[in-house]
Structure 1
Amino acid sequence: MELRTGQDHLMSDQLRMGIVGAGIMGRGNALALSGERDVVVTAVTSRTRDAAQSLAAAQKTPARVAENLDDLLAADDVDAVVLTTPDHLHGDMMVRAAEAGKHILVEKPFTTSVEEADRAVAAIRSAGVVAMCLFNHRWVPAYAQAKELVADLGAAVVGYARKDDTIYVPTKMLSWADKTTCAWFLSSHDIDLMNWLIDDRVVRVYATARYGRLCDLGVDTPDAIQIQAEYSGGATATFESAWIYPETFPTMVDSYVTLACEQGVVQIDRQKENVVLATEKAYAYPRNLLQRVMHGIPAGAYRDAIRHFVDCCLTGAQPLITVESSRDVTAVLEAAHESIRTRQPMDVR
């Protein structure tokens, strides 16, 4: 089986992965990779050595700890990297990884500026490596089915997507919430989905933000953002994100998508995922579509998306999610944040 690494070709039946970042998403990626027989995690690096050592030791074949990103990228036993660092660090890391000839799986969002996105796309295409942003929602069965269904519903007219988190996420789960926003963190998923469902690009946005609760708690980021988007073909969509739901809400994420077309409408409500749990302490809807371990084996849309990336690396196929489409998501969000700042509609680059 032929594995392309930059300008070289390596005959291999196994993909050797390096993980950059040993936080929640680094551990999630490692768990998904652990069930793949043709993947081995060979190196881990993170901001703190203790976290990297813990994740490295937990692999089915213990991985080594790389001192930093440059050390990991220089390694001969790393074919591909998964970047699970905070949002604002993705761009430069992708450029460096591409220049080192490594395949790239990057957590969403692709980058937090169009300039960085364009640099990353150029470096990736120049190096000839496989790269994909982990917009794993495209592998949620309901969304994948919706993509097939809207093909028979005529032209898209109006869409709406919300992804709202409990306040636990910006105050306890993320140590870097003040360096991003709920739109970068949450709406990036929904913009990728809506662009895919409509099969079109956003050309103009108007966005508003509400500040208050989180700032009062010492986290300098908006409580909520709403984006009005206009597509080149005339469709419109609203993207809502917030992360101040009370922690008593039965799910950490409240997620809903609808798209009305000229000849029909599709709706996907993911608040409940077929399981209800009631205990003496809480009433909850456990999440199971993105990440789960079933009979000891990692499963779900998160694993399926990573499996797709692995297959592309091992065969040279292009991923379902192109880096150009992920760049377009960044462009929508950059324009939205500029609209918030200027209080004016903005064209999308």
Structure 2
Amino acid sequence: MSQKEIRIGMIGYQFMGKMHSHAYRDFPFYFDTEVKPVLQAIAGRNEAAVKAAAEKMGWASYETDWRRLIERDDIDVIDISTPNHTHAEIALAAAEAGKHIIIEKPLSLTVEEAERMLEAVKKNKVIHMICHNYRFSPAVQYAKKLIDEGRLGKLYHIRANYLQDYIVDPDFPLVWRLQKDVSGSGSLGDIGAHSIDLARFLVGEFKELVSIMETFIKERPIASLQGGLSATADTSQKGEVTVDDAALFLARFDNGVLGTFEATRFAQGNRNKNKFEINGEKGSIRWDMENMNNLEVYLADDEPGLQGFRLINCTEEHHPYAGAYWPAGHIIGYEHTFINLIHDFLEAVAAGTQPKPDFEDGLKNQKVLAAVEESARLKSWVSL
């Protein structure tokens, strides 16, 4: 099999950088492919740390300036795994340099930035993708298949919750995710963005919504050291939390579906409870990321006495992506959602096609995020 090398340059090397590195390395192991990802270089500001990360994760070289990474002619793809406030500047530069782009969510800080980013990738004819990895769980893909086949009939409801608890402690440090100028929003953009993307993927486009948002802890100790989702606090001084701790909203979709959404990082006992339920005229489906291999399915035409939610373990070759891994019942994990995503992205780069979700999806998601914030500020319904 002749192989097509695709040379990757990644900016950022913490939580998502580690996940993306793993996906690049493992994707050819599981999938029959002619694509060969080459881990060419990563970039980060701390030379000692980025050098150590490059050695540990298998990157051939490193840079301490992301601009230098983009300038290199031995790189085809720029992977942006940095804090949200850097996304637009890096993506615009990468597009102008003719590099294909894969970027972590949310796409940007604002709708205006997202519009410029989408315009840039289109103008420069580069392939682009946004990392909403939960779309790539085999169970979610199978849910999409059932919906598209009409197995649920006309859809009525979606209710989605994304619940975490890692910042409940008021002494948890003021990390970048709690600062609006860096993150754009709090639980809304950090985790609620995933629920929004899943809703658009499975149900359709948002029409209008009404929301409430709350910041429970107004001040926190300054973060003296942070990496991934962990941090160390400097208890001698505090700073203001400028984002939401929780965001809840009701929505109506273009097709008449009603939605309820909740995103919070103050739900004790929920480490990463990303879940949804969709109800239609012929049945319902449920999914929970903490049991990501399983899809619960209820079909109303089952005979009386047998009706009820059945548990489908989506690990068989009949389920999207699952056939690339293990025999039925041998479950996969969180990291495999990224492997599936990277598979679709690199195959698209090799073929010159455009994968989904892309920057257009990112812009649409960004408009929903902005509408949630506007509705909370105005205390009224907002149309999209």
Q: Distance in 1 between matches of 2:110 and 2:167?
A: 26
Higher mean alpha-carbon deviation, 318-327 vs 129-138, is at 318-327
Q: Is the CA contact (8 Å cut-off) linking 1:150 and 1:266 kept in structure 2?
A: no
1:103: how far off?
0.6
Please provide the CA RMSD for this pair. 2.8
1:237 matched to 2:238? The reply is no
Give per-residue Cα distances to partners, 1:23-73, cap 9 Å, x unaligned.
11111111211224511111111232233212222243x422223121111
Q: Distance in 2 between matches of 1:169 and 1:316?
A: 45
Supply the AA of the counterpart residue of 2:262: E
Q: Secondary structure at the match of 1:195?
A: helix
Q: Distance in 1 between matches of 2:22 and 2:218?
A: 32
Compute the TM-score of the two structures, normalised by the length of structure 1. 0.83
Matching of residues 79-228 of structure 1 within 5 Å:
79-151=76-148, 152=150, 153-168=152-167, 171=172, 174-179=175-180, 180-198=185-203, 200-213=204-217, 215=219, 218=239, 219-228=241-250
| Gap regions ≥5 residues in structure 1 | 2-10, 276-288
Supply the AA of the counterpart residue of 1:136: N
| Gap regions ≥5 residues in structure 2 | 29-35, 222-238, 295-314, 316-324
In the other structure, the counterpart of 1:69 is: 66
Equivalent of 2:278 in 231, 244, 259: 259
Higher mean alpha-carbon deviation, 302-311 vs 40-49, is at 40-49
Distance change >3 Å, CA 13–CA 172, structure 1 → 2:
farther
Give per-residue Cα distances to partners, 1:171-225, cap 9 Å, x unaligned.
4695433233101010111111111111x21121211012223646653332211
Q: Is the CA contact (8 Å cut-off) linking 1:112 and 1:334 kept in structure 2?
A: no
Distance change >3 Å, CA 196–CA 168, structure 1 → 2:
same
Compute the TM-score of the two structures, normalised by the length of structure 2. 0.76
1:35 matched to 2:34? The reply is no
Matched residue count: 317
Q: Secondary structure at the match of 2:139?
A: helix
Q: Is the CA contact (8 Å cut-off) linking 1:255 and 1:269 kept in structure 2?
A: yes
Q: Secondary structure at the match of 1:71?
A: helix
Distance change >3 Å, CA 80–CA 172, structure 1 → 2:
farther
Q: How high is the sequence identity, in percent, across the aligned residues? A: 26
Supply the AA of the counterpart residue of 1:42: Q
Q: Is the CA contact (8 Å cut-off) linking 1:214 and 1:222 kept in structure 2?
A: no
Q: Secondary structure at the match of 1:142?
A: helix
Q: Distance in 2 between matches of 1:95 and 1:262?
A: 45
Give per-residue Cα distances to partners, 1:221-244, cap 9 Å, x unaligned.
322110222211221212210002
Supply the AA of the counterpart residue of 1:32: A
Q: Distance in 1 between matches of 2:373 and 2:47?
A: 34
Supply the AA of the counterpart residue of 1:30: S
Q: Distance in 1 between matches of 2:334 and 2:287?
A: 24
